[in-house]
Structure 1
Amino acid sequence: MVFGLGMVEVVFFAVLALYVLVGFILFQVIDIPEDFYVMDRQAGGILIAGTLFASFMSASTMMGIAGIVYTEGAVMWLAIYGSWPGLVVGMLYVGRRLRMLEDVTVPDFIGDRYQSESVRVTATLIMMVGLVGYGVIQLIGAGYLLSGVLNVVGYQQIVLLFGAALLVFTVAGGMYSVVVTDTLMAVAMVITGLVLAPIAIGQAGGLEALTTTLPAENPGVLTVGGANMDMPLGWLVGQWMLWFAFFMVAPWIISRAFPANNDFDLMTGTNIATLLSTVVVTVLFLGVSATYLLNSSIEPVDLVVIWMSRELVGPITGGLAIAGIMAGILSTTSTIFIYAGFGLSRDLFERAGGRVLSESQRLLAARIAQIAVVAVVTLIALFEPLGIYWLGAWAGALFAVAWAPMIIAGLEWEGANKYGALASMIGGFGSYVLLYQLSQVWGTITIPFMLDPVIPALAISSALMIGVSLVTETTSEEVEFFRDVSDRAVSEATVEQLSQSELRKKYNRAKYFAIGILVVGVVIYAYLFLTVFLPLL
């Protein structure tokens, strides 16, 4: 015991202190806005992998979804699979193209593509709503986590303290702080998934228990509808589409491409992060499912991984595992706060407002904006709205319906214009909120096949993007920007940056890295298929 804390708590806070210390030290290297926004585009493949993987492992994944998997089983596990292809498309298709344009924020591209400040402002305001919603989830998760670790401190006090800590962390280091500390945090997250979860599986009776004992103890756990929710296939399809479209355009995902040093580092980082996220989450959720056999009455269910960390392993491993959960929360929250601050300062105050600021003024404006965002998110989180997963799904759906059609059309269709973009964003946003309220809150209507409201809202948003653009005029400036982007090779900057010998060396390294990752992934999932999934068929 140290000052009344057990070894689990000591390890946890030691790791947390390390994150904050590194972030504060990196404050010393921030002297120009490009450092703060995009790390001066100096991140290598390992740093891109670390920050992308850490962004994926949020409170929604490690607490909200883990809690639902604990009681429901395979249904939630399958639902989030859409997030992984969405992550790849977001990084290698959307993010890579925006990086080519040397954009600093996603609204940079949106405003330039549609040559309209009204489009930029609308996109930024929708982004702010979605980021605030997703940020609230992280603070709720932090409140649950830390109040569970420190039994003498209440939820609201923890939220206030965590908000204050994040304020110091994000305002100090910017993107440098986020990318470097994300990579350090990834180590703790891997321990949570690949050390803690296998121990839980072993104590529950091994992989065989998942296919024999678990279905007997929790009937329906291996069905598509879940053990208790009894959802139809349409609901599962809707959730898959929601997470795919969300991750494809989530600003804190695609903007992870911006700090990359070159295309090879971007692709290598994405490959590593995809392998890590799929394997770690798969093993973690198998361990969460097995934990039901060890304790079927954990409440609230969002705390299942915390219970595993405290009850199933020794204090050092448990402390590192809890630190892994906190790392996921801290990583995602810091990035969300940074990009929400960017939205206020750069996209609204600076660019949409038409203000010309010095470099020191831009840095100051970004930091003041982050203070405002942290204050708002902390205030909302104090009221503990909804559940972690459902709030995350709602926030993610806003990006899916309001941003995805507009961004994809802007990249692929010359005829897309600002009128279509505005109609798509406003119509998608409004239709989703209305359909969600009617079907999920008030129960006034039932969407066929129990589809998530994101599906009809996405269809409405896409139809408005195409239909309104067809019946309105696309300006010559919009066409010129589209053609300029289309005529530029995505790899142009990398080719110009590197010599022929360097290109050949990095190409071969990236190729063999990708092949190696593919082989590792095939071996791991072939083993899981033979030992877990095949016996269920």
Structure 2
Amino acid sequence: MIVGLLGYGVIQLIGAGLVLSQVTGISFPLMIVLFTLALLVFCALGGMYGVVVTDTIMLFTMLAISCLIAPLLIGQAGFDNMKALSETIPFYWTIGGAEQRPLGWSISQFLVWILFFSCTPALVSRVFPAKNDFVILKAAVIGVFLAPFMQVIVFLAAGGMQVIQPGIETTDNVMIIGFMNHVPEALGGLGLAGLMASIMSTASTLFVLTGFALARDLYEHLFDKKLSEKRSLRVGRYAQVFVAVIVCVIAIMQPAAIYWISIYAGAIFGVGWLPTVVGGLEWKRMNSQAAIGSMTAGTTAFIVVDELVRRDIMTLPIHIDSLMVAFAVGVLTLFIVGFTTSPSAHEQAFYKKMKQTSMSGITIKDFASRPDGLAQLKKQYKQTMIICISFVFIAAIVWGYFLMMLGF
């Protein structure tokens, strides 16, 4: 988990460095160092409360980018000109893209994010403050719509930039240039603020979670000692500084474009973390040996196979990707080790306790204890259904419009 978080933290720092160096004119390496120091101060003073605040800011600023700024860039480019990109950049609008990658590669990109978002601690931790199950359900319905809505429209705007200002060599800078040069200054500033809010939100979450994991999950168990809250907080902050130094150095080296690093980090989560999470929640025979075996085998298989393919030492069958191979290895290892070993008494007892705990039961019990609990329960159920149906309808309109305008 820590390795995956480190990889995802690197892309946040690279993104911050690119934005801030473009705006301020300060060199990229120095900007990375300054932003890392600012981030450490933010994490130390704000903690998870600060993360919640930046998350809220991020939502509204990213919505502004998707609903105002990106459409402006698309409007300047024009749908007809954007459709015509396939004439100057062959295969631009195809599934395989301009580089004509096989269908399996595109499928693996979907798989990476499906597997990653199913188990990433940065996302799962957002559920903890929820008041009840209905809040989680409503947020999930809205979030499932907003995630592709905010991303796809920005990607389309990036395609529009190919029309407005073709030939931008550093692809990570495309939207930054669009915000700074091709929209009104106020909206451009809002767009940059949205980028920084999202970077700050994600990066601070990763630092907080990594520090907590190193202090509680690793340090306390490694040395078999229970730390006081004060001592644990101090160790967590030391861990954050340690992680910040590593991430800062890697970000300055900028080993690859942001997207490719995010794919690598996301894949490690997907193949090394998700099988263990699902197995731990749903499989009676799941135990620590199966968890360690699955995480080790899945992650190792992905890194080894991906590097061998990238260096042309190994060739995979068409439509098969290193992520698919590694995920299969991780799941297979989980079952083999699980069937050949037995869970301990503690693991069996915890699984039984977990299965006897029902979040829906807790929610119903909470509503039942109120004077008008049944009426409130029915109201929440109706609201959830209305939100679900409404967003299906909204999604049909939004995606139908873009499909029609781009002629796909």
- Return the match for 2:24 from 147, 150, 155: 150
2:2 aligns with 128
Q: CA deviation at 1:195?
A: 1.3
Distance in structure 1 (CA, Å) of the matches to 2:288 and 2:228: 30
Structure 1, unaligned stretches of length 5 or more? 1-126
* Pairing 1:215-364 to 2, within 5 Å after superposition: 215-227=86-98, 229-351=99-221, 353-364=223-234
2:47 aligns with 174
- Return the match for 1:187 from 60, 65, 72: 60
* Pairing 1:319-468 to 2, within 5 Å after superposition: 319-351=189-221, 353-440=223-310, 442-449=311-318, 451-468=320-337
Q: CA deviation at 1:274?
A: 2.1
Distance in structure 2 (CA, Å) of the matches to 1:285 and 1:381: 23
2:15 aligned with 1:141, yes or no? Answer: yes
Q: CA deviation at 1:487?
A: 2.7
Structure 2, unaligned stretches of length 5 or more? none
2:403 aligned with 1:529, yes or no? Answer: yes
Contact 2:32 2:252 in 1 (8 A): yes
- Return the match for 2:379 from 505, 528, 532: 505
Distance in structure 2 (CA, Å) of the matches to 1:514 and 1:191: 23
Contact 2:85 2:163 in 1 (8 A): yes
Q: CA deviation at 1:352?
A: 5.1
Q: Per-residue CA shift, 1:290-347, capped at 9, x if unaligned?
A: 2111111112111000111112111111111111111221111111111111111121
Cα distance change of structure 1 residues 215 and 156 upon mapping to structure 2, 3 Å threshold: same
522-531 or 327-336, which deviates more? 522-531
What is the DSSP-based 3-state SS (H/G/I as helix, E as strand, rest coil) of the residue aligned with 1:449? coil
Distance in structure 2 (CA, Å) of the matches to 1:384 and 1:273: 31
505-514 or 372-381, which deviates more? 505-514
Distance in structure 2 (CA, Å) of the matches to 1:193 and 1:298: 21
Distance in structure 1 (CA, Å) of the matches to 2:155 and 2:256: 22
Q: CA deviation at 1:159?
A: 0.2
Contact 1:427 1:460 in 2 (8 A): yes
- Return the match for 2:80 from 203, 208, 222: 208
- Structure 1 letter corresponding to 2:85: L
Distance in structure 2 (CA, Å) of the matches to 1:351 and 1:446: 41
- Structure 2 letter corresponding to 1:504: K
How many residue pairs match? The answer is 403
Aligned CA-pair RMSD:
1.7
Distance in structure 2 (CA, Å) of the matches to 1:392 and 1:185: 19
2:35 aligned with 1:165, yes or no? Answer: no
Q: Per-residue CA shift, 1:485-529, capped at 9, x if unaligned?
A: 223223133233333244333333333222322222222122223
Distance in structure 2 (CA, Å) of the matches to 1:366 and 1:493: 32
Contact 1:225 1:233 in 2 (8 A): yes
Q: Per-residue CA shift, 1:99-126, capped at 9, x if unaligned?
A: xxxxxxxxxxxxxxxxxxxxxxxxxxxx
Cα distance change of structure 1 residues 488 and 130 upon mapping to structure 2, 3 Å threshold: same
- Structure 2 letter corresponding to 1:426: T
- Structure 2 letter corresponding to 1:129: V
Distance in structure 1 (CA, Å) of the matches to 2:241 and 2:226: 22
2:351 aligned with 1:489, yes or no? Answer: no
Distance in structure 2 (CA, Å) of the matches to 1:259 and 1:349: 26
Superposition TM-score, scaled by structure 2 size: 0.94
Q: CA deviation at 1:424?
A: 0.8
Distance in structure 1 (CA, Å) of the matches to 2:193 and 2:213: 30
What is the DSSP-based 3-state SS (H/G/I as helix, E as strand, rest coil) of the residue aligned with 1:268? helix
